[in-house]
Amino acid sequence: MTRIRPAQPAMMGGTKTATPIERPSVLSALVRRAKRPLLVVGHRALRARGNGEREIDLLARAALAAGIPVAATGDAGPALQAAGLEPAICTSAMNLGGLLADPGWPGVDDQGPHDVIFVAGLVYALEWTLLSGLRHAPSHPVTVSLSPAFEPHASFSVPNLAWPAWRALIAEGFGLEGPA
């Protein structure tokens, strides 16, 4: 397995590091096997990339295609709504982290704890710390960082990718049809 540096190399956390998602099939398997997934989308996903496309639009399509409920943090909510996705919850990432860490929290739909937490679009340091919190949480969720910057504290993380490669990975991993 490739050894990947964190997007900010100083952010080394300990003896374990995330498994990099280097093939779309790995992402597909994570999506497929998740029983109670949740996608957390932060405001950095609003940034325009490449030719003006935004991560958040692709993430909204991915969530809709996979039927994954979304937690919007920061200012991501209105953009998700504009993309046709109504977030299941709008709250701060830290508040959400506190909830997700609790094995007794019934989830965004009161149906039980979430087993797989996908995260994307948070400020790198905030995503890093949130994932660190969840890694040690009593709820023991599987965490998957979808941001194009390797997050060592996740269980699985997309590696450091430029926009075209990231777009292709997410589109194929979530089985999106048509141009991404």
The reply on whether position 40 binds another protein by CB under 8 A is no
* Shortest separation between residue 180's beta carbon and another protein, angstroms: 22
Site for another protein in 53-72 (CB under 8 A): 72
Distance (Å, whole) CA 109 – CA 41: 17
Site for another protein in 92-111 (CB under 8 A): 92-95, 97-99, 101-102, 105
- Which of 24/107 has CB closer to another protein? 107
- 20 pairs with which residues across the strands? 157
Q: How many residues bind another protein (CB under 8 A)?
A: 41
- Which of 27/85 has CB closer to another protein? 85
- Choose, by CB under 8 A, the member of 18, 27, 43, 70 that binds another protein: 43
Amino acid at 64: L
Instruction: List residues binding another protein (CB under 8 A).
Output: 7-10, 12-16, 42-43, 72-75, 77-78, 81, 89-90, 92-95, 97-99, 101-102, 105, 122-126, 129-130, 132-133, 135-136
